[in-house]
């Protein structure tokens, strides 16, 4: 369907319309918005997971005999999961920026969207399980009374887990959107027919 709509990003949808007068302009514009939204969600997930990983990794330098994250397998898992998600988010943001700049996906289109959806989904589950186990561990430490004795250790662990939950929320949202993109691809054969 021909459309006089412009594409462009969400805030300046001005200049690109002369270049693509074909029927898929509206779909491409929707796809562009969807991609921009996913990029935004990934950026948020990256920020929260990076912050969670930093909070957890720095949770050992209070004194020599205070507890450290590395003494607790659960907290090691929390740190690992947050780090993996942060690194993955950087990679995905690079791929998204590449797609915006070059107007082509980094991998072949089908492979790319399946890759993104499957990794979003699996990493969201991984991150959630890590944070759930981390909450259990932090609650147990508080119950033992070791929180009072060890300065800010428990508080910092709680903050890290809370940041990780926020990262999970954004990752789960981007998994929903990339899942929708996969379904588009499966049903219509193209991401463009949204």
* Contact set for a second copy, span 45-74 (CB under 8 A): 73-74
Q: Which is nearer to a second copy, 75 or 153 (CB)?
A: 75
Write the DSSP assignment of 140-164 as a string of letters: HHHHHTHHHHTTTHHHHHHHHHHHH
Question: x/- site string to a second copy, residues 70 to 109, per CB under 8 A?
Answer: ---xx-----------------------------------
Site for a second copy in 165-184 (CB under 8 A): 172, 176, 179-180, 183-184
Half-sphere exposure of 8 (CA within 13 A, CB side): 12
CB of 37 to a second copy, least distance (A): 15
Q: Is 75 helix (H, G, I), strand (E, B) or coil?
A: helix
- What's phi and psi for 100, nearest 5 deg? -65, -40
Helical (H) or strand (E) element with 26: helix 25-57
**What is the footprint of a second copy within residues 116-145 (CB under 8 A)?**
121, 125, 128-133, 135-137, 139-140
Burial class (CB in 10 A: 0-12, 13-18, 19+), 84: middle
Binding-site ranges for a second copy (CB under 8 A): 73-74, 121, 125, 128-133, 135-137, 139-140, 172, 176, 179-180, 183-184, 186-188, 193-194
């Amino acid at each position: 369907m021909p459309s006089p709509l412009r594409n462009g990003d969400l805030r300046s949808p001005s200049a690109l319309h002369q270049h693509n007068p074909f029927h898929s302009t509206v779909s491409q514009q929707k796809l562009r918005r969807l991609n921009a939204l996913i990029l935004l969600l990934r950026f948020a997930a990256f920020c929260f997971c990076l912050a969670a990983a930093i909070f957890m990794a720095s949770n050992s330098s209070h004194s020599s005999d205070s507890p450290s994250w590395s003494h607790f397998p659960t907290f090691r898992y929390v740190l690992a999961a947050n780090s993996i998600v942060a690194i993955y988010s950087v990679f995905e943001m690079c791929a998204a920026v590449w797609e915006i700049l070059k107007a082509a996906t980094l991998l072949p289109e089908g492979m790319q969207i399946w890759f993104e959806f499957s990794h979003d989904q699996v990493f969201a589950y991984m991150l959630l399980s890590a944070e759930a186990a981390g909450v259990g561990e932090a609650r147990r430490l508080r119950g033992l009374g070791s929180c009072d004795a060890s300065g800010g250790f428990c508080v910092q662990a709680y903050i890290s887990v809370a940041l990780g939950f926020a990262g999970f929320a954004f990752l789960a949202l981007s998994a929903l959107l990339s899942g929708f993109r996969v379904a588009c691809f499966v049903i219509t054969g193209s991401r463009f027919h949204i």
